[in-house]
Amino acid sequence: MLPVLEPEEESALDITLTAHDHRKSDLIAILIEISEQIGYLPRAVLINLSHRLGIALSDVFRVATFYATFSLVPVGRHIVEVCSGTSCHVRGANSILDRLRTELQLDVGQTSEDMRFTLRTVNCLGCCALAPALRIGAETYGFVKTSEVAPILRDHP
C-alpha cells in the first residue's frame, strides 16, 4: 500500500508528472520541480513517484541522494553554503564557517528551528578567485570577512 500524501505533496506530484508526461527519462527534472515546490523530497513522495513512473524505488533514492541539490529532510528558506575548496580553505573559509555557526547557532547540516537557514559546506563554488566565498541561495559572496557575516545574514529575512 502506498503512503498517503499531504495535499501539497499530491498536487506537486500530479502537476509535475503531467508536465513531464510521466516520462521516466525526466526523473531528475521531476525531482527538481517537486523539490522546488515542496522544499525537499519527502519519503512518501518518492515512494509514490516510484510507483507512478514504474521505476524501482532504489533507483529513485539513488538519484535523490546522489545530487547535493536534493534534500530528504526539510531545509530552511535560505541555504547557506560555505566553500571548502583549496583556495577558500587557504584564505580563511574555516573562520567564515565558525562565524556562521556562532551567528546561526547551527552546525553544518542543521536547519534553524524557524526554518530560515540551513548551513552547509560544499567542495567548490567555482569562484576560486573570490576566495573565501559563500553562497546563499543564488547569491554568491566573495572575499568574505568574518565581520561581514552578520550583515550578510540580515539581508536574508
pLDDT value of residue 69: 83
Alpha-carbon distance 142 to 112, whole Å? 24
Identify whether 116 is part of a domain: yes
- 62 domain-assigned: yes
Where do we find the cell 580563511?
Answer: 92
Q: Are 16 and 37 within one domain?
A: yes
The helices-and-strands tally (H runs, E runs) of the chain is 7, 4
The structural domain count of the chain equals 2
CB atoms within 10 A of CB 49: 21
- 68 has pLDDT over 90: no
Owning domain of residue 19: 7-66
CATH number, position 108 = 3.40.30.10
CB contact set of 89 (below 8 Å; sequence gap of 6+): none
pLDDT in tens, 79-129: 999 999 999 999 999 999 999 999 999 999 999 999 999 999 999 999 999
Mean pLDDT of the chain: 96
Q: Peptide bond preceding 132: is omega within 30 degrees of 0, i.e. cis?
A: yes
Record the pTM: 0.79
- For 14-84, where are the E strands, in sequence order? 78-83
Dihedral over Cα of 33, 141, 132, 118: its sign: negative
Percent over 90 (pLDDT), the chain: 97
The last residue of a domain, from among 66, 99, 114: 66
Radius of gyration of the chain (CA): 18
